[in-house]
Structure 1
């Protein structure tokens, strides 16, 4: 297993060193209205991009940079962005980084707005830059208009709000939906993506939601196999037994949480797993100890683990994603047949077996790949950890494994 991990790491190193791009199939609409299909380098885009890299073919060595000045819009994977050159508000609105007064000034900005809804009547966009969240709406072929929200400190401590966006949304609702619409119907409309999505979907009726969020979650389940390399460390007669291997199947399931559904560059994973460990240690040869016979120590460990971990994708395309992960394994173990015995299963002169801890921790590392967004193969290495609490010696295990997971 160690050889396999070493070989895999050696093969992947060149890829991991150069794999800084994530080109996905998409297109740009140029200022003259022409649509150019190709591949766009999709990034995390926690803030709105100021430019994008475009290739007509993934194999092309060169790339074209597009900005809001040179294209009208672009689409890649689950992302759609609209070029915007116009006024944006200067006020801060994300607590606690607020202004100390109501800042009504604006500036001209050049940015790609993230499309949330492409509606037949009104479309909705968002923008996050400089720790400020803003939303825009666009009617037909008109220019986008910002939904205004003031949130500021008054007298140094009191927070005041002025939700101008409520009256803006109210006018849109009256214009396109008609009926008995009252301003008080929007009293609980917060300046949040989910709230605004619901209203704009209602206004459009047939409005198409591009995506509610760039993030999400995905459940998985799988099977694997592990070898536990058990060993005594410190001052103990069973040191001479060396490493004792124990093989076991491993079942596991969990959930991945990510902030970018396309690249999944950074994933928070929580996994629950179960495997067993059944080593038998042989003590020193009685010829050298003067004992009547060789002493043996064995136990059966059944181990359930909860492992929160961070998964980082070094390489990501539409076909495959290569990742490494690190986490902490929180183990709950129960034991059977914890005992000493002599040669030919005779009674041992050692009476009380060692106390093995029910709760202990280790630190798993993984290197793996996800194919076609569903099928994952990963190699696991868990450094040696003790599941005893003695001062002079310890019983430890190091774990190597192969895991197959299916992402639902």
Structure 2
């Protein structure tokens, strides 16, 4: 388990790497005088709305800090857009453990950068996200006013359940009556809408006349595919005393090399930074283990136990990858996953070989030990990505048992190294 503890320690330190890095992407800042400054913005994985950004007019220029005090808007070209507004920000909690037991309508007023989700001809949709929750805002292009789309949650002690007040539905219905009078479909759609980015985005697009007259902000998420090959060094080790039924001595093992092929897809949280991604990988390999161990006797009279087993291994491995170092040309990552392993075996035999002088007798037990056809394992991985296309990695698969016996086990572990090609 030492390897797993090391990985968890590395994961805990990745935020330090993240803070020290720069990721300047083309963008612009609209300053306090409404002048547009084109250049490069240090683009981070903004899970929360940023209150400060770093800007350079050229890649070699000195960085400048911009906040709501000296900027009205900024954008990462083609990715994310932010505008400055003074808005009411709800302070009521949505975490079940922190829910109020009465309706909490408290708010603060603050000047912040709101993230643009939809930029429409009639109304635009924005979001503010912090440690508490996301709040969505609707900006009316005709009146130049912005309002919070309200939703409240609290714990109803009488009913012993969470009560939800969806005021945003009536707010959107008023917009529908103004911009789409007589459209009954949009009314039904609004009444069924959840307080989520996907539902609200779709409704605001409709309020602006649909795709033909609507400019929506491009999503930052993405999908990419990969395929590759490598080599695997595997060990099968028997653990348990002979008295427990173990066919070999405690610690007996065999090691083997085998080729491995991989393929799969990555789901990128943010395709412009690629800091965090989820991967579904499929891997296939064939391992062959050969055991031969004298159990008693020597010389002309002896008894030897032998096993020759070949296993065909197919794994589906969901995993989380974190690029703790990231530039356009080089990324370094760590990875942890959960392998769901399916095995198919040859028609193997456990052989007991009796030698008495010149006479040899072999007794075979078919399909013994009884290896299971499915198990779970934890692979941990580290590697680099070069020029956005080539991924080079090494991984360690923590031991997992191929048997279900109570008193002894046959544990398989592996080291693997390989190269993947990323299709973009």
TM-score (ref. length: structure 1): 0.78
Superposed CA offset, 1:94-132 (max 9, x none): 667544444445422122111101123321101122423
Deviation at 1:292, TM superposition (A): 7.0
Alignment equivalent of 1:210, drawn from 217, 221, 230: 217
Which residue of 2 is the match for residue 172 of structure 1? 175
Superposed CA offset, 1:283-320 (max 9, x none): 46999654579875311100122223222221223444
Residue 277 of structure 2 corresponds to residue 267 of structure 1: yes
Unaligned runs of 5+ residues in structure 2 are 1-13, 242-246, 354-358
Q: How well do the aligned residues superpose, as a CA RMSD in angstroms? A: 3.8
Residue 378 of structure 2 corresponds to residue 367 of structure 1: no
Which residue of 1 is the match for residue 117 of structure 2? 116
Alignment equivalent of 1:387, drawn from 379, 393, 402: 402
**Aligned runs of 1:330-349 on 2, under 5 Å?**
330-339=340-349, 349=362
Unaligned runs of 5+ residues in structure 1 are 1-14
Superposed CA offset, 1:199-241 (max 9, x none): 21122232211135x545x353423122333354456768898
Superposed CA offset, 1:157-208 (max 9, x none): 5755544433332333344445556995443233322222122112223221
Range with greater deviation from structure 2 (111-120 or 346-355): 346-355
Asked if 1 retains the 8 angstrom alpha-carbon contact of 2:92 and 2:152, the reply is yes
Asked if 1 retains the 8 angstrom alpha-carbon contact of 2:338 and 2:378, the reply is yes
Question: SS of 1:44's equivalent?
Answer: coil
Superposed CA offset, 1:332-358 (max 9, x none): 21111423578xxx9763522433332
**Aligned runs of 1:8-407 on 2, under 5 Å?**
18-20=17-19, 21-25=21-25, 26-58=27-59, 63-76=63-76, 78-92=79-93, 97-140=98-141, 142-153=144-155, 157=159, 161-179=164-182, 185=188, 186-205=190-209, 206-211=213-218, 214-215=220-221, 218=223, 220-234=225-239, 243-253=254-264, 255-283=265-293, 290-291=300-301, 297-339=307-349, 349-352=362-365, 353-371=368-386, 375-389=390-404, 391=407, 394=410, 396-407=412-423
Distance 1:319 1:110, change over 3 A: farther
Aligned length: 388
Asked if 2 retains the 8 angstrom alpha-carbon contact of 1:38 and 1:54, the reply is yes
Range with greater deviation from structure 2 (102-111 or 238-247): 238-247
Distance in 2 between residues matched to 1:159 and 1:361, nearest whole Å: 37
Question: SS of 2:116's equivalent?
Answer: strand
Deviation at 1:256, TM superposition (A): 3.4
Distance 1:289 1:250, change over 3 A: farther
Distance in 2 between residues matched to 1:165 and 1:355, nearest whole Å: 61
Distance in 2 between residues matched to 1:389 and 1:337, nearest whole Å: 19
Range with greater deviation from structure 2 (51-60 or 311-320): 51-60
Distance 1:135 1:96, change over 3 A: farther
Distance in 2 between residues matched to 1:66 and 1:31, nearest whole Å: 10
Asked if 2 retains the 8 angstrom alpha-carbon contact of 1:39 and 1:57, the reply is yes
Which residue of 1 is the match for residue 10 of structure 2? none
